[in-house]
Amino acid sequence: MRHYDEETERRETEMINLKASLEKLVEDHIELKQTYEARKAEMEDWLIYKKLKQEKEDFQALQVWAATKIQAWWRGVMFRKKLGPYSKKKKGKDMNKGKKGKKK
């Protein structure tokens, strides 16, 4: 009988310890679940930010490419039509200006 009482008491102690361990594990699980949800929200925000940043960089790269094409086209037009900095300088006028004042 004494052996039975000791065994019962030992089992009850084990059950109390297991219940305490279970409660602690449940609390840890709830805490981890909350942490996971918070991190999940942060990651979603980060992915949205990263996607928007990539789209912005792609758009800027497209703008630079388009501007380069337009500038190259405009320089080609200016060169073919000999306008702006690509026009021929008239040498005759510059030479005559210096000689007109020195007539004797």
**pLDDT tens, position by position, for the chain (104 residues)?**
888 889 999 999 999 999 999 999 999 999 999 999 999 999 999 999 999 999 999 999 999 999 999 999 999 999 999 998 888 876 665 555 555 555 54
* pTM for the model: 0.53
Interior/surface letters 20-29, b for 16+ CB within 10 angstroms, e for the rest: eeeeeeeeee
Q: Tell me, what's the pLDDT at 86?
A: 87
Q: Kindly state the tokens that stand for 34.
A: 């909350």
pLDDT attached to residue 2: 84
Residue that has been written with the tokens 């990539």 in this structure: 54
